């Protein structure tokens, strides 16, 4: 496939673009890699349809985008140090994994830049991945709310999800979840990040993170803190900033964790769903 035939078509949502004319099983030219990175920075979510790739291809493509960032709490698949499998059984009863809005591993000191997913077994309905453009949410934010957030640091933690008493902790010991999750005391750590910050690559202002992994605001407490977190959440998750991604088998999707929030959706009871994923810095 000619590498110069790459086309980028924006979705009709608030972010995201389809990239065609590239075959991720092949070595990509420096120009193609640059064009992909440019489209990713501009549209925040890029979708490569009809990619019949192996785990080797997924790893090779990931390394063109950055170094592997590593996944706390999710074990890698056998024989691979950098690929996590997102799997849900056809008749699984456990709550949908990652159904709350978040940005991947925002509770870390140096959160991943990109998450890359390869859709392997995709149900005929449901299972969309939702994205919300946080540059747009900030750009259109009422000045009054922005002023309350200006200069503030959010406190991020994985505790609500991955601590022993978290959502995926000991309470799941009898669960039928097909995916293995390794909960840990380590999840109780807290990391501060600015709520309004400049994107490290583009310098564009954006919001970073949301309630969930955000458990508080530095220097605030009580009702005032809860009110601000909730006003932020209600604004940054508005419908008009969203793009709902519909999966097809063989699709590869790469998003910018520094620019968007994302979440999983159910709605495919009776069907198995399997994706392979990497995260890079």
Question: Smallest distance, Å, CB 103 to Fe ion?
Answer: 8
Instruction: Pick between residue 69 and residue 98 the one whose CB is nearest to Fe ion.
Output: 98
Part of the chain binding Fe ion (CB under 5 A), chosen from 62-70, 98-106, 210-218, 234-242 = 98-106
Say whether residue 104 binds Fe ion (CB under 5 A). Answer: yes
Q: Coil, helix or strand for 228?
A: helix
Question: Smallest distance, Å, CB 154 to Fe ion?
Answer: 17
Instruction: Pick between residue 14 and residue 117 the one whose CB is nearest to Fe ion.
Output: 117
Instruction: Pick between residue 71 and residue 104 the one whose CB is nearest to Fe ion.
Output: 104
Buried-state track 153-166, b at ≥16 Cβ within 10 A, e below 16:
bbbbbbbbbbbeeb
Tell me the two tokens of residue 274.
């399997």
Q: At what angle do helices 55-65 and 30-43 cross, to 10 degrees?
A: 80
Part of the chain binding Fe ion (CB under 5 A), chosen from 49-57, 96-104, 151-159, 193-201 = 96-104
Among 98, 114, 232, 260, binds Fe ion (CB under 5 A): 98
**139 DSSP assignment:** H
Instruction: Pick between residue 32 and residue 206 the one whose CB is nearest to Fe ion.
Output: 206
Size of the site for Fe ion (CB under 5 A): 2
Tell me the two tokens of residue 176.
């039928």
Rg of the chain, C-alpha, whole Å: 19
Instruction: Pick between residue 85 and residue 104 the one whose CB is nearest to Fe ion.
Output: 104
Say whether residue 260 binds Fe ion (CB under 5 A). Answer: no
Part of the chain binding Fe ion (CB under 5 A), chosen from 104-112, 160-168, 173-181, 207-215 = 104-112
Say whether residue 256 binds Fe ion (CB under 5 A). Answer: no
Q: For tokens 């519909």, what's the residue? A: 246
Q: Could you tell me which of 200, 206, 168, 172 has the C-alpha nearest to residue 187? A: 168
- Inter-CA distances, 181 with 5, 86, 162, 227, Å: 41, 10, 8, 32
Instruction: Pick between residue 98 and residue 254 the one whose CB is nearest to Fe ion.
Output: 98
- What span, in angstroms and rounded, lies between the C-alpha atoms of 272 and 247? 13
Q: For tokens 């890029």, what's the residue? A: 46
Query: Which residues of the chain form contacts with Fe ion (CB under 5 A)?
Result: 98, 104
């Amino acid at each position: 496939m000619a590498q110069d035939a790459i086309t980028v078509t924006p979705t009709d949502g608030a972010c995201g673009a389809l990239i065609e004319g590239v075959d991720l099983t092949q070595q990509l030219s420096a120009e193609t890699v640059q064009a992909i990175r440019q489209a990713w920075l501009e549209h925040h979510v890029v979708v490569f349809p009809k990619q019949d790739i192996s785990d080797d291809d997924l790893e090779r493509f990931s390394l063109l985008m950055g170094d592997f960032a590593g996944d706390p709490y999710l074990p890698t698949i056998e024989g691979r140090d950098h690929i996590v499998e997102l799997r849900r059984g056809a008749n699984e009863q456990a709550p949908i994994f990652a159904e709350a809005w978040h940005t991947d591993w925002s509770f870390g000191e140096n959160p991943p830049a990109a998450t890359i997913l390869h859709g392997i077994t995709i149900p005929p309905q449901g299972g969309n991945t939702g994205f919300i453009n946080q540059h747009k949410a900030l750009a259109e934010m009422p000045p009054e709310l922005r002023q309350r957030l200006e200069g503030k640091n959010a406190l991020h933690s994985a505790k609500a999800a991955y601590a022993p008493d978290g959502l995926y902790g000991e309470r799941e010991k009898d669960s039928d979840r097909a995916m293995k999750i390794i909960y840990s005391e380590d999840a109780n750590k807290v990391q501060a990040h600015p709520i309004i910050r400049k994107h490290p690559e583009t310098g564009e202002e954006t919001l970073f993170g949301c309630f969930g992994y955000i458990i508080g605001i530095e220097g605030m407490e009580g009702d005032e803190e809860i009110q601000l977190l909730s006003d932020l959440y209600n604004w940054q998750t508005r419908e008009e900033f969203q793009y709902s991604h519909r999966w097809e088998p063989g699709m590869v999707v790469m998003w910018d964790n520094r620019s968007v929030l994302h979440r999983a959706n159910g709605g495919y009871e009776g069907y198995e769903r399997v994706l392979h994923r990497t995260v890079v810095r």
